[in-house]
Amino acid sequence: MRKPDPCVLVIFGASGDLTARKLIPALYEMRAIGALPEHFKVLGVSRREKTDDAWRAELAASVQQHAKRWDAERWAEFAKCIHYFAGDAAQTAMYSGLEERLRKFDEESNTHGNRLFYLSVGPELYESIVQRIEDAALVTEGKRWCSINSSERSWQRIIIEKPFGHDEQSAASLNRTLGRVFEEEDIYRIDHYLGKEVVQAMLVLRFANTIFEPVWNHRYIDHVQVTAVETVGVGNRTAFFDSTGAIRDMIQSHLLQIFAFVAMEPPTAITAEDIRAEKIKAVRAIRPTTPETVATHGVLGQYGKSADEDAYVDLPGVAKGSTTETYAAIKLHVDNWRWAGTPFYFRTGKHMAKKCTEIVVQFKPPAANLFPGIPHQSGKVLGNRLVIEIAPFQQTRLRFESKVPGTPLSIASVEMQADFDKQFGVEALEAYGPLLIDAMRGDQSLYKHRIEVESGWAAVMPFLDSSSATIRKSIASNYAPGSWGPAAADEMMARDGRAWHNE
């Protein structure tokens, strides 16, 4: 793969949790495997006054805790490229000093005028910071030759964290603001789930194996489930969560991105442009949910009191009478030739029975039962089932029917399992690492296009706006912590003759 270009990664909101727990440990791992460019700098921007050495010391403690392996000598070498700049990113006055610091990096470290801006700040600051970047003339893409090699132009790119907007209208507004300052090819809407190995492996599973693609359609697949659930509650994130909820936090972002890889058509080639083009088509093909069908296509819930935590509605920071969902299950359809009539079920929740992120592809049972009256472990011949587990383990399991050894004839379901950690003997990298390298290389394969984002919001808005009033009426404490969620979610599946995969 092409080595990333020399550049400066400018992290706005550098004192935040994301930088210490994820970004810097990920970059440390990337340096350890030789993936970072030779000429590279990190410039953290935050309001707190501190020196480069003080920030490096803080980050060293965090990297020891969160990186896969710690090596003091390796860290000391990597820390030389880490720097700090104190300033309020929302104030115009800061940017002249920031520009001067960046220019010095170009002169002293051969970073070629290339900048990768990372907005690790509250979403309410996104648009103002983008505007300040433009006002300070920090975006010179196509306007200035780099200072080192006169045959190359410098580039400036921006990475935007989720949540990307609060609803369809705010997402479109943010996209317009970004589009006035950056070209679409320079805007990187990050979703760290797309940095996970198993999600990327979907492309290989589907398109490098003849046995899957011919049956990857409505004729053979009964339905698909995309689940991401946790055993923990909201904890101390009540202020954020109560204004966000499970749908905004997980389904609109992470789960719809996973869905796009499951549902997309084969790309012409494995390039960013071709992959994104097919993902866009898949998300845009989601059938709009009408207000009349919201009640039958969605279930929302809040967890009740447990032994070690109050019910969600009683937590400090949660608005009185809040109807923000800590659990959501929704059903969507895709109106295209491949998926016509095949439902996709999405489920996410806090305080659930287990921690799990997975894709379940449930195939239809055989068209004719050739084994009537033959004993079966489950009572009947079952359809094949492919489970792609993303967390906590990275593995793929395929269920099929088999004769039980011995006589007389009887049938049981068996499972083949591919455990990627055991098979390849490599520890998975922090998901942010490869994504940051891709942004430095100008590869948007695993980043979201503006149309994907806005189409994703359009798909979930009926479960968030006034249309969802009916399914929010009885939301308070409607499922017990440690359970699989509200009983209404099981009833929704039962009406369709299906059941959640709760194994």
The number of residues in the chain equals 503
User: Are the beta carbons of 100 and 137 closer than 8 angstroms?
Assistant: no
254 catalytically annotated: yes
The token pair that represents 82 in the structure block: 């880490």
Q: Output DSSP code: residue 281.
A: H
Q: Please enumerate in sequence order all residues whose Cβ is within 8 A of that of 425, keeping only pairs 6 or more positions apart, or say none.
A: none
- Placement of tokens 């009964």 in the chain: 222
Q: Annotated catalytic residue: which of 39, 254, 297, 449?
A: 254
Q: What is the Cα–Cα distance from 50 to 230, expressed in whole angstroms?
A: 36
Cα 432 to Cα 121, 197, 278, 418, 436: the distances in Å are 16, 11, 23, 24, 6
Cis status, amide bond into 163, omega within 30 of 0: yes
Using CA of residue 232, residue 235, residue 239, residue 240, what is the dihedral sign?
negative
**Can you tell me the distance from the alpha carbon of 235 to that of 229, in angstroms, rounded to the nearest whole number?**
15
DSSP string, 377-406: TTSSPPPPEEEEEEESS-EEEEEEEEEPSS
Report whether 350 contacts 233 (CB < 8 A): yes
What are the phi and psi torsion angles at 298 (to 5°)?
-150, 145
CB atoms under 10 Å from CB of 157, counted, come to 22
Residue 238 to residues 162, 306, 313, 449, 472, Cα–Cα distance (Å): 17, 17, 10, 30, 19
Gap between the Cα atoms of 14 and 86, Å rounded? 10
Q: What is the dihedral of CA 350, 353, 357, 361, to 10 degrees?
A: -120
**CA-closest candidate to residue 319, choices 252, 250, 244:** 244
- Residue 188's beta-bridge partner residues? 159
Distance CA 35, CA 137 (A): 30
- Burial bucket for residue 224 (CB in 10 Å: 0-12, 13-18, 19+): buried
Q: Which residues are catalytic?
A: 254
